[in-house]
Each structure stands twice: as structure tokens, then as C-alpha cells.
Amino acid sequence: MTVLNIKEKVKNNKLNLSGMNLTEIPVKELVPLKISHLDLSNNKITSTDNFFSLLPGLVKLDLSNNQIKSVAGDIGSLQKLAHLSLANNKIKDLPKGMSKLKQLKHLSLNNNPLKSDLAEAVGPSQNNAQCQTAATNLIQYLKGDSKKQDEKNKKKDKKNSKASPNVQSDKSKNKTKSKKKSGFISKVFGFFGYLISYTIFFAVLTGLSVYALSYYDKKAYGNIKAKALPLWASATSNLDPQVAAKVNYYLQQAGTSFDIGVQTSIEASIKAYKWVKANPTVQQYAKNVQDTCQSLWDSVFKKVKST
């Protein structure tokens, strides 16, 4: 059949190709046509491959009385399909894609060797009422079948997870062991870190106190020095003489540098004090700043005390 002959048969978007002895669906000739109703019944068609997705505008499709053994999965692309006849074929099963046919109201599957559970779910489709029920039953069956398949997959996953609990438990044990080890190591290093930092802080604070005392009370400083030196000598007596000499040398250098720094800061403070004392304007400014700070402190302190 030529393209011209097919075009001539189209009337009101309806095409009847029933009883034309077609062995396959003339897809190339049908695609250019704007049809909503297509009758391909009473032919010798065996396959529906590469057909449904090319004619998404179909509302009614009749493929009854052919030799079709299976329905292509892309039938779900016929979103407008409301009437479908597949009676008197060799169909045993239907694709899950048919569950997407939301507009399907009429389905005829009579005289097909359907598998038993599908035939029972869909029911008979000999008259109009039965065909309407069959359409609803099929979509519900296919949706439920997909849910059952999902449940089966979940059960398999659970079985697989149960089959290998030892592997997972070993991994979890290794993780907990590594966490315990890392936690213990971090605690040990943290303890020693705190110990070293506090020791250094205490040593620096002691040094500052001693050097400050050396400027204000030389007698007390001399007494402390006289008591500290023997303790230091006994502490370093077990060291190698060369190591002890180096330690003492570096401590003396550090002490000298620290002494110079403290002396410089004290001299700078004395000069600043003399400069402020010699300038009345600066004294007044300093007094204003002091009064402002005092008033601010009093207001904040009073608020905190009242609350």
C-alpha cells in the first residue's frame, strides 16, 4: 500500500486499515499523518516494536485478530490512549509500561493465552462493561506487581545484609578500636601539652616577678637568688658538664636580654611620666579620659549590680 492510498483513507483523523493482509505496521507511512483513531485489526501483524512512541496522539487503537506475541514496552508513551483492543492474538504477558496509561478506559484481551495470574487479575473482556473493568484491573495489577518486585528486591537486600554480619561487625570493631586508640593518644598528648604550657607559663611569671623584685627590693632579690642558685646547681649536677655549661650559658643570655628589655621599658615609663608631668594640657586630657572611663565603669557596674 502506497502513502497516497493511506492518506486517502484518513477521515476525521481516523484511519481504517483492517483486513489489508499487513504483516507489519507501516510506521513510516503513519508517522506523517495526524490520526487519533487507528484500526489495524484482521491482519497478520506479529510485532509492535518501534511503533507506539511514534504516534503519541492515538486515542483509540485496535490490534485485534492478529498474530502478536508480545506488546512493546513503549506503549506507555500513549498518554492519550483511552480504547485498546488486543483480542484474538498470541499474547502471554503485558509490559509494565501499560501502568502509565492513565486515560485507558476500555481494554479488550479476550482470546489470548495470558498467564494465569494476569488473566485472573484482569478478568473477562467480552462486552463493554467487562472491558472497562479490565482496563482498571490491569493498571492496578501492574502497579501492584511493580510494588511486589520492589518488596522482593528489599527482601533480597536484607538477606544479603544478614548473610554478611560478620564482615560488618569486624569493620565496626576496627572503627571503634581505631577511635579508642586515637582518643587515648590525643588525651596523652593533650595532657603533656597542657603540662608543658603551664610549666612555661609558670616559669615566665616567676621570672617576671623576680626581675621586678630586683628593681624594687634588692635585698629580697638577693635572698631569693642565694636560695635558687644551689637548687639549680643540684638540678644540673647530673647533666653532662658540657650540656650543663651550654644550658647555663643560654639561660644567662636569655636573662640578660630579658633584663635589658625590662630596664628599657622602665626607663621609657619614667620618661613618659616626666613628659606628662611637664605638660598641663596632656595632664588635663589624661584626667578627662580617666573620668570618662570611671563614669563608664560606674554605670556598667551599677547596672550589673541592679540586675
Summarised one tens digit per residue, pLDDT across range 236-261 is 666 666 666 666 666 666 666 666 66
14 lies in some domain: yes
Segment (H or E) for 306: helix 280-306
Q: CATH code at 147?
A: 3.80.10.10
Domain stops at, among 117, 132, 159: 159
Measured distance CA(245)–CA(239) in Å, rounded: 9
pLDDT, tens digit (0-9, with 9 covering 90-100), for 82-126: 999 999 999 999 999 999 999 999 999 999 999 999 999 999 999
pTM, 2 dp: 0.49
Q: What residues make up the domain containing 303?
A: 236-307
Count of structural domains, the chain:
2
Q: Quote the pLDDT of residue 59.
A: 97
Largest CA distance in the chain: 130
195 lies in some domain: no
Residues 106 and 246 in one domain: no
Measured distance CA(282)–CA(266) in Å, rounded: 20
CB 29 within 8 A of CB 15: no
Residues 249 and 132 in one domain: no
110 lies in some domain: yes
Residues 6+ apart with CB under 8 A from 65: 41, 42, 43, 87, 88, 89
Taking residues 212-225, what's their average pLDDT?
61
